Amino acid sequence: MAPIAVGDVLPEGKLAYFDEQDQLQEVSVHSLAAGKKIILFGVPGAFTPTCSLKHVPGFIEKAEELKSKGVAEIVCVSVNDPFVMKAWAKTYPDNKNVKFVADGSATYTHALGLELDLQEKGLGTRSRRFALLVDDLKVKAANIEGGGEFTVSSADDILKDL
C-alpha cells in the first residue's frame, strides 16, 4: 500500500486514549479532523529517545504558534497501547495541547501506509515517523521520514507548511 500523500483524504479509523477523568476512550479520526485543521504526527514508539527528546517536545513547545495559525488539534499517535501512551503523556507535565493516542495493533498506521517492520529488532510493527497537516480531512502536507531519520517531520517543518 502506498503511503498517504498530499491531496489524499485521511482514512477513517479508531484510536484510543485516556481522557481527563482517566477513562479509556475510543475516538474516530474523522471526528477529530472533519471541518478543522489538525496535525497528526506519528512516532515509532513511546519513550524512545528521538521521540521523547525531540519530536514530541517540539510540538509541545510550538503548540501555541501552531494554534495561532489555525490548527485546532495536535495529535500524537504511536503503535503502543493506551496505557503506555497515558504514562508517556504524563512525562510532559507542561503539555496542554498535544493529545496522545494509541494505535495498539497498528491498524490505523497500516491504513495510512506508514507501518515500519522492526521485527528484527524485537519491536514488531511500528509506525514510521511522520507529520501530516490535514485540513477538513484532506492532507495538505505529508512529511514522512525514511528509516530512523528525523529531518522533515518536526513542528518547525509543519510551521513552514502553514
Structural domain boundaries of the chain? 8-161
Confidence label for 48 from pLDDT (cuts 50, 70 and 90): confident
Confidence label for 122 from pLDDT (cuts 50, 70 and 90): low
Domain 8-161 has CATH 3.40.50.1820: no
pLDDT, one tens digit per residue, over 136-155 is 999 999 999 987 789 999 99
- Could you confirm whether 51 is annotated as catalytic? yes
Catalytic residue among 4, 32, 33, 51: 51
- Alpha-carbon 102 to chain mean position: 9
Q: Are 44 and 129 in contact (CB under 8 A)?
A: yes
Distance, in Å, from the CA atom of 24 to the CA atom of 3, rounded to the nearest integer, reads: 29
Beta-carbon neighbour count of residue 150 at 10 Å? 15
First-last CA distance in the chain: 28
